[in-house]
Amino acid sequence: MVTESTHYSLSPSLSLSGWMDFVGDNFKGLVEVGSFLYRAWAPSLYTGVALLIGFLVYFYAPYWRVRKVPGPPATFLVGHLPSLAKYGPDVFRVFAKEYGPVFRFHMGRQPLVIIADPELCREVGIKKFKDIKNRSSPAPASGSPLHQEGLFLTRDSRWSAMRNTIISLYQPSHLASLIPTMQSYAESLSLNVSNAQEEEDIDFSKLTLRMAIDVIGKTAFGVEFHLSKHTSSQKSLQNHYGDVGNNDDEVSGFLKQHMYSIQTLKMDLSSSFSTSLGLIAPLLQKPCREVLKRIPGTGDYKIYQNNQKLCKRIDAIIAKRSKERTHDPKDFLAAVLNARETDVGEKLFSHNYIRALTYEQLLAGTKTTAFTVASTVYLVSKHPEVETKLLQEIDSFGPHEVIPTAEDLQNKFPYLDQVVKEAMRFYTVSPLVARETSRQIEIGGYVLPKGTWVWLALGVLAKDPKQFPEPDMFQPERFDPACDEEKKRHPYAHIPFGIGPRACIGQRFAMQEMKLALIHIYQRYIFRHSPKMEFPLELEYGLVLGFKHGVKLRAIKRQC
């Protein structure tokens, strides 16, 4: 029979002596249980603590190196990406206003030192170029040879050699020879506008993208894509970027893969899993991608398969063009293939680099140009006084059938030049320019160690009220050389194509194409916003700006 004294009760009425007896009788057993649990779990506990400490050291090491640079508190793992999602590209203006012209922005684990001052941009891009000449490689581009091996991300001596070899393709004499090609596609753009019914909405951004792709197809690949050449069999544009045509299955497939490749170049957490992981733990991005690209249905698998198909199609174009090579190259690919015949070129231009260089022309020269032409027309359509002045200048040039020469574009359209510059300031298509230090340097009073990502905030410069009074007003006259504002402005306050030796090598090409398109279209039409056009424009941010919903306009034929 169990007595009351041997029943272990935990009630409050248990006497002190009872508690002591309880502890004394069970202490040895408790110690043995504790010792067993310690022996069983201690290795795992120590390992877990060590891994946690190791991860925290790894995660915060980049921050620690630039901790003296001011910046807002960053959210663990994702950094300031939530702020980027909230404000879009304007987040850098918000941070610059609060923290000054040099501040930290955390892209996941990776801190960026953002420069938002024109003089400091000159210091980074020109004065200290030899110490900060390479571009940092963001997570979206780090996994694809198509992006890594082009001129944009190539590093050090290889970049210098490649640039020096191909820069002749962008000399004024060669660009002048491209005017008939560019003009033909500007005429196609106009023809596509003419096919719209009266008061029918036109997504003008899709039409300009067609034109820009056609221009690069011919001038870079030597291939006719036929996107802007209107035929009765062409389907209407689809998707955000539009239909790529149905005239040629090979061309159609190639362009669809190109469009998908552009869509995947996002600097946020909506991209593939390995890219998102690369923002948090870059060390794990490559092994994660290697696994996921073999698993059907994953984003990494789709991107890998798309890039493989894209590479095969570019290889087929290169192989075909190699057989057709001449001593008088008319396009970029032919010129690079010829350059490979030299001793230096043979070492420099391996097959992979030729593929990447050629594709880079399509990547860099289409969406940016299309965006700028469409945004220019959007802005001019909102400002009748600008439109009137622009039309007067274009009409005064001469009969519509007279095609402007390169010299005409340079000297006879000063107001058009101001309009395009102001449009590029108002909507800076490349709001950030990436750099990476190759040794320890000092910028703006802050010591930055080797390997620091330093990004120039061109979009912030473009909206700085000290350089551009009333920055949210569209005023092309601010770029008039006779204007006091232009004379007082810092020479590097407006650098939409970048700065220094690593500025966009194709900026003259782009300006020539954009001006020809705008002259031709405004000789025949003016535009008004569709009732469906949102205001302000909603933009999306990948490696460059884009329109979320396009630019919806209505064309009015001019009576000339």
In order, the DSSP letters of 323-357 are: HT--SS--SHHHHHHHHTTSHHHHHH--HHHHHHH
Cα within 13 Å of Cα(116), Cβ side: 29
Structure token pair of residue 379: 């802005």
Those residues with Cβ within 8 angstroms of residue 231's Cβ, 6 or more apart along the chain or in another chain: 247
Q: Is 489 left (phi over 0), alpha (psi -120 to 50) or beta?
A: beta
- Position 42 in a domain: no
- Position 481 in a domain: no
- Position 83 in a domain: no
The Cα 47–Cα 550 span in angstroms is 53
pLDDT tens track, the chain, 560 positions: 444 444 444 445 556 566 556 555 666 666 676 777 667 777 888 888 898 898 888 889 999 999 999 999 999 988 998 998 888 889 999 999 999 999 999 998 999 999 999 999 999 999 999 999 999 987 666 666 677 888 888 999 999 988 988 888 888 999 999 999 999 999 999 999 998 877 889 999 999 999 999 999 999 998 888 888 754 334 433 343 344 344 456 677 888 888 888 777 766 656 778 887 877 778 788 888 889 889 999 988 998 898 899 889 899 989 988 888 777 777 899 888 888 888 778 888 888 899 999 889 988 889 999 999 999 999 999 999 999 999 999 999 999 889 999 999 999 999 999 999 999 999 999 999 999 999 999 999 999 999 999 999 999 999 999 999 999 999 999 999 999 999 999 999 999 999 999 999 999 999 999 999 999 999 999 999 999 998 888 888 877 889 999 999 999 999 86
- Position 31 in a domain: no
- Position 549 in a domain: yes
Count of domains forming the chain: 1
pLDDT digits (tens, 9 = 90+) for 34-55: 777 667 777 888 888 898 898 8
Structure token pair of residue 32: 């043995």
- Position 413 in a domain: yes
Question: Which of 331, 320, 319 lies closest to 221, judged by CA?
Answer: 331
pLDDT digits (tens, 9 = 90+) for 92-103: 999 999 999 999
Q: Which residues pair with 115 in a beta bridge?
A: 102, 456
- Position 111 in a domain: no
Q: Is 326 in contact with 214 (CB distance < 8 Å)? A: no
CATH number of the CATH domain containing 378: 1.10.630.10
The Cα 492–Cα 498 span in angstroms is 9
Q: What is the pLDDT of residue 235?
A: 43
Q: Which domain holds residue 515?
A: 141-430+496-557
- Position 54 in a domain: no
What amino acid is encoded at 423 in this protein? A
The pTM score is: 0.87
User: Is 311 annotated as belonging to a binding site?
Assistant: no
Residues 65, 70, 73: CA angle, nearest 5 degrees: 90
